[in-house]
Structures are given as C-alpha cells and as structure tokens.
Amino acid sequence: MGLGFPADSPLHAFSDDEVAAIFAAGSQRTCTQGERIITEGEPGDSMFFLVDGQAEATLASGKVVRSYGAGSYFGELSFINPGHQRSISIVAKTSARVQVLDQSSIQTLIASHPRAIFTLLRRTCAFLVDAERNLIVDLRRRNTELQEVVTKLEFTRQRLSQEEETARTDGLTGLFNRRGFDAELTNFMARARAIGSGLALIAMDLDHFKPVNDKLGHAAGDFVLRGVGKILLEGVRKSDLPCRVGGDEFIILLADLTETEAQARGDALRLAIGTMPHPGNDDGIRITATMGGTLYRPGETGEELMHRADEALYAAKRAGRNRLGWT
C-alpha cells in the first residue's frame, strides 16, 4: 500500500503491512482548501497521514515554513505524547484527505501491528534528532550573526564616542572647546550641589595676543595658544576642566576647593603664562593673561555663574590687565 505513494514519501520508510495496519487503525477525514487541520497552540492527541492533496505548515504570522504532499504525516508528537501543545498550524493547501490516528488507534496498532508503532517511534526520534541538529546549527549561525552585530555595535559606539570626544575638543590646544564646556558645566554644578563642595569658574583672556598674529603670523599665534593650553593642562588637577572657548578666550572650572585656594590656583596659572617663552619675546611682545573668577552659588544657573565671572574679568581689564579679578 505504501508503494502507491510518491517515491520520496515518508511512508516508504514503513513496510506495506505497516502502512496497511496504520490505515486500518485510523479513520479518514476530508478537508477543504484552506481548512486548518492542526491549529498552533491547541492540545493534540492525534496525528495525520496525508492520503492525497497538499498541505502547508504556517506560523502565526502566516509565513509558510514547510509543505506536505501525499504520503507525508505530521502531528506525531501529540500522538505519542497526548496533550502536547501544537507548535505550528497545518493548513490544507488544496482539497485533501487525511488519515487520522487518535489515542484509540494506538491501542489498536499495539495489538495488531506493534512493529508499526516501533517504526513510527524510530522515525519520530530520527526526526527530532535532525530537528535538534538543525536547531543547533541555526543557533550557532545566529550566535555568530549576533556576535558580528555586537562587534559592529561596539565599533560604532567607540567611533561615535571618539567622534563626540573630537567634537568636544579643541584641536589646537587639546583642551575642551565651548561645546565640551557647555556639556560639562551642568555636571560640575550638580556635583558641587550634591556634596556641598566649592566650584570656581575663571574666565580668562590673553593680553597682547593680537600683535603676535598681526606681526608674526598665525603660526606664531598657534604656538602661543598651544603653550597656554599646555600650561593649563599641566597646572590643574584631573578633577578640573580647562577649556578654550574662543580665539584667545579660556574658561577654567576648578572643583572641590575654597575661594582662597581657587584664587591661588588662578594666580599660579596667570604667572606661568606671563613667563612662557614664545616667538613674540624677541619683538618685545609680552603675553599675559587677565582673569575673572567667582564661586558657584547653589541655586543659580550656569548663565548667572558665567555672567559674574565675566564681570570680574572686565573689571580686571579696566584695572590694567595681567591680574585676577574676583567677585
């Protein structure tokens, strides 16, 4: 009887006697095109042999993942393990006839042809082994793909982090630029509020910088700016933040210190800049720095803090430059 099905039919794994016993033990059912033979998620206790017609295994999304022709069978896990939840839906693609084997059918087969039960179990186990092997291969492939995605995401994160760092850094001096300062000021203020520590902001302009550019050229001006940047980087702590926010304009955030300590730090930086060697020295151009500083007052905005430091800076310029004004 099995020979009546296509040569590649799963039923050809059974002998003709076994096929005859299987069909004798069950009952036939006619299905119309589009009819669900098995519904995903429902408990099942029967398996089905496709006598003629075609059927498809579909996911809840409607995606077809497998096709069945005459001589195929499906639902055997529920036949062997009654109550097993169906893992997929089977839909008749054309009009079809199926042989249904329910739990009473298995009792009939055990009595009439136990060999058919053995072959069915062996075929089912082989199917599960193949499915497990395919699952492992698929999981390995997906794991490889996931690892590749993670690697690409990490690369992207690092690249974006580097780009962000570049966007916040002044390329000439290595100090934070205005964008970096604006981003960090809020963090410095929040920390000062949280732990009750002093936070000083010093605004600084270079004196007599324009003559260096005008008389000696921009290369000399860049030399001065790099030198100032080096002094600021080496003259503050890791907890501080020196920034270049304009051509010859700088801002320094000094964390966790008193007003007296902040003034001393500012004066030390000012004196170091005033004695810095640079190309304008031979032409009598002396580079100095004028500063204006203030301490953060809890509750005020960053704009208010900056405004007060700017006022101190302008007052120091009016007083003769090369000094630290404070308010």
**Pick the catalytic residue: 102, 248, 267, 282?**
248
- Give the count of beta carbons closer than 10 Å to the beta carbon of residue 284: 8
Residue in the structure block whose two tokens are 């499915």:
131
Residues counted in the chain: 327
What is the separation of C-alpha 18 from the centre of its chain, rounded to a whole number of angstroms?
56
Q: Two tokens at 99?
A: 């042989």
Q: Is 154 exposed, middle or buried (0-12, 13-18, 19+ CB in 10 A)?
A: exposed
User: Quick check: 324 and 263 in contact, CB under 8 A?
Assistant: yes
User: Quick check: 286 and 274 in contact, CB under 8 A?
Assistant: yes
Instruction: Tell me, yes or no, if 207 is annotated catalytic.
Output: no
- Give the count of beta carbons closer than 10 Å to the beta carbon of residue 227: 17
Ramachandran angles phi, psi of 136, nearest 5°: -65, -45
Give the active site residues.
248
